[in-house]
A and B are shown apart, each in its own frame.
Chain A
Amino acid sequence: MTYIGHGGKEIVERVLEPEKAAEAIKGLTPVPIRGQIAREIIDIAYGFFTPLEGFMTRADVEGVCNEMKLANGVLWPIPIVFDISTEEINEKGIKEGDKLLLTYQDKPMAILEVEEIFTYDKQEMAQKVYGTTEDKHPGVARTYNYKDKFIGGKITLVNPPKINPPFDEFFFTPKQLRQKFAEKGWQRIVAHQTRNVPHTGHEWLMKGAWLSTHGELPVEKTLTGVLVNAIIGEKRKGDYIDEAIVLCHDVLRKAGYFREDVHLTSITLWDMRYAGPKEAVFHAILRSNLGLTHHMFGRDHAGVGTYYDPYDAHRIFDQIPEGALNIKPIRVLAWWYCPICGEVTYSGLCGHKEHSQNFSGTLIRSIIQDGVKPPRLIFRPEVFDLIMECAEKYGFGSAFVTDRYLKERNPVFSLPDMKY
């Protein structure tokens, strides 16, 4: 079966069979990599980033920064780069045409074919991708932290990661996920992007998006599904712990707030860039590779601070040429609590704005951090109880990321031992 992904290209899979892998890496220069690069290797190797087959060359980066396109003309909004210092290049004698063995957790992980070694003005990259050069913007700070050179070239995974519990049951490659959708009989699937434990505002966003997505389809069979796709990447102190995010989304279905046959939780490994509208396009590409047909975008999608207008991430889709993106945006306003209606309701429908009670993920985190159990109309009790359980089981007593969690948490994935 052929699986077509973004740009009309077949879903990329660049994973070497184990018997060939040991032989292929013999004698290659090892280069240790950090978590971000390891996560992106997994994304490239399994096709989450189709049509990318490796880290971008200068022509790709230029195209992405200047025109939001890869060198081959395919829509792409965020550079995916492999950075390296001049010192390391010199020390290891790395040159174009070489193959490098990328290692992570002191184990072999992937081969990088050095197609091009190049430099790029990081300030220019920041301005063009994020619309600012201020290092207070986390995406800009990440860009400035890149080392001074970049290597463009294909990667091949030689040591597939073992996804550790509790994440293992939520990790699906694009091909696996598409098979799962086919088994479920879903013809349309809408993505809910998340980095949060769900409150009922999120729950209703998903339900509203499901209704929009289902549209004119017949109702006798379940033909439409919601895919919660949690972004798992670098954590910051104060964030919800990853385990709570994933398990609490899943419990919405287990506790019956979603029917068993309409809801699925999954993860994608990615370090958020907070690029607002550009990241919204990136998320749409990512989810189209997962086989989704629709993507819900709420208020201030992937934004940070006041760098973007809350609905910039909606408007950017008006600028995308027809056919460049194989997924439909579902654009939604916030849901709020209305004491007159006595329910959580859609701000685009409720006429009691002056009485409305807004709530954000941040506000709910603040309530939980105060040791207060929010009302069930705002936060499902099953979710609250599970957060507390996750805090004990995974978070060293805290549902939020602490220094200890950052140091001692069980990794999301591990690389197996490999003889070579």
Chain B
Amino acid sequence: MSITINIWINEERYEKLQKAGLASMAEEALAGLKVIKVPCTEEQKDKVLKVFPTAKYDSATTRSIELLPREVKDKIFDLVVEKQSMDVMEDFLKNY
């Protein structure tokens, strides 16, 4: 199981995905709640945790980075939509 950043999909985000023709990227994760899972390498995970100290890596349950500030998630989400790809963390972390 690879490390991911879970971006939970509310209506606003789902609309953006639909407009970009990316709605199929969202997968059902929890009792019908949709999520997109942005993959991270081990190094990227360490950098994310260093740059955003409130974030936590849930190593036990989901192997995902959680509790990133919403505006950070929005930026990652916007990059996914712009690049039409989940593979955005390298680009995202260039700014930090």
Size of the chain B interface, CB-CB below 8 angstroms: 26
Do B56 and A362 touch (CB < 8 A)?
yes
- Known A-B contacts A369-B67, A369-B70; the reply to A360 vs B54 at CB < 8 A is no
- Known A-B contacts A310-B60, A359-B61, A372-B8; the reply to A378 vs B33 at CB < 8 A is yes
Q: Which residue of chain A is the closest to B29 with respect to CB atoms?
A: A357
Q: How far is the CB of B77 from chain A (nearest CB, A)?
A: 9
Do B60 and A300 touch (CB < 8 A)?
yes
Q: Which of A370, A373, A378 contacts B30 (CB under 8 A)? A: A378
Q: Which of A296-310 contact B (CB under 8 A)?
A: 299-300, 305-306, 310
Decide yes or no whether B62 CB sits under 8 A from chain A: yes
Decide yes or no whether A28 CB sits under 8 A from chain B: no
Q: Which residue of chain B is the closest to A368 with respect to CB atoms?
A: B8
Q: Which residue of chain B is the closest to A338 with respect to CB atoms?
A: B31
- Known A-B contacts A360-B58, A372-B8, A372-B10; the reply to A366 vs B66 at CB < 8 A is yes
Task: State in angstroms the CA–CA spacing of A365 and B32 once bound together.
Answer: 17
Interface residues on A, range: 20 to 34
Q: A360-B58, A363-B61, A366-B8 given. 13 additional CB < 8 A pairs?
A: A300-B60, A337-B31, A339-B28, A357-B30, A358-B61, A366-B6, A366-B64, A366-B68, A370-B73, A371-B70, A372-B10, A375-B30, A378-B33
Q: Which of A363, A365, A373, A374 contacts B64 (CB under 8 A)? A: A363
Decide yes or no whether B89 CB sits under 8 A from chain A: no
Do B70 and A365 touch (CB < 8 A)?
no
Do A337 and B8 touch (CB < 8 A)?
no
Do B69 and A372 touch (CB < 8 A)?
no
Q: How far is the CB of A364 from chain B (nearest CB, A)?
A: 9
Do A359 and B69 touch (CB < 8 A)?
no
Find chain A residues with CB under 8 A from B53 CB. 237
Do A357 and B31 touch (CB < 8 A)?
yes
Decide yes or no whether A367 CB sits under 8 A from chain B: yes
6 residue pairs, one from A and one from B, having the closest CB atoms: A366-B66, A238-B54, A360-B61, A375-B31, A370-B8, A372-B8
Most chain B CB atoms below 10 A, which of A305, A306, A372, A373: A372
Q: How far is the CB of B51 from chain A (nearest CB, A)?
A: 15
Task: State in angstroms the CA–CA spacing of A357 and B6 once bound together.
Answer: 14
Q: Which of A320-352 contact B (CB under 8 A)?
A: 337, 339
Do A363 and B62 touch (CB < 8 A)?
yes
* 15 A-B interface contacts by CB (under 8 A): A306-B60, A358-B61, A359-B61, A360-B61, A362-B66, A363-B6, A366-B68, A369-B69, A370-B8, A370-B10, A370-B70, A370-B73, A372-B10, A375-B32, A378-B30
Do A306 and B59 touch (CB < 8 A)?
yes
Q: Which residue of chain A is the closest to B66 with respect to CB atoms?
A: A366
Find chain A residues with CB under 8 A from B32 CB. 375
Q: Which of B28, B33, B56, B60 contacts A367 (CB under 8 A)? A: B33
Q: Which of B68-96 contact A (CB under 8 A)?
A: 68-70, 73
Give the interface SS of chain A, mostly helix, strand, loop or mixed. Answer: loop
Q: Which residue of chain A is the closest to B10 with respect to CB atoms?
A: A372
Q: Which residue of chain B is the closest to A365 with respect to CB atoms?
A: B67
- What residues of chain A have their CB less than 8 Å away from a CB belonging to chain B? 237-238, 299-300, 305-306, 310, 337, 339, 357-360, 362-363, 365-367, 369-375, 377-378
Q: Which of A238, A371, A378 contacts B31 (CB under 8 A)? A: A378
Decide yes or no whether B25 CB sits under 8 A from chain A: no
Task: State in angstroms the CA–CA spacing of A238 and B29 once bound together.
Answer: 23
Do A365 and B66 touch (CB < 8 A)?
yes
Q: Which residue of chain A is the closest to B12 with respect to CB atoms?
A: A371
Q: Which residue of chain A is the closest to B69 with respect to CB atoms?
A: A369
Q: How far is the CB of B38 from chain A (nearest CB, A)?
A: 13
Decide yes or no whether B7 CB sits under 8 A from chain A: yes
Find chain A residues with CB under 8 A from B9 CB. 372
Find chain B residues with CB under 8 A from A238 CB. 54, 56, 67
Q: Which residue of chain A is the closest to B73 with respect to CB atoms?
A: A370
Task: State in angstroms the CA–CA spacing of A366 and B28 once bound together.
Answer: 16
Task: State in angstroms the CA–CA spacing of A339 and B27 once bound together.
Answer: 14
Find chain A residues with CB under 8 A from B61 CB. 358-360, 362-363
Find chain B residues with CB under 8 A from A377 CB. 31
Task: State in angstroms the CA–CA spacing of A21 and B73 once bound together.
Answer: 55
Task: State in angstroms the CA–CA spacing of A369 and B7 once bound together.
Answer: 10
Q: Which residue of chain B is the closest to A375 with respect to CB atoms?
A: B31
Q: Which residue of chain B is the closest to A359 with respect to CB atoms?
A: B30
Do A363 and B31 touch (CB < 8 A)?
no
- Known A-B contacts A238-B56, A358-B62; the reply to A370 vs B7 at CB < 8 A is yes
- Known A-B contacts A367-B33, A378-B33; the reply to A360 vs B73 at CB < 8 A is no
Task: State in angstroms the CA–CA spacing of A372 and B69 once bound together.
Answer: 13
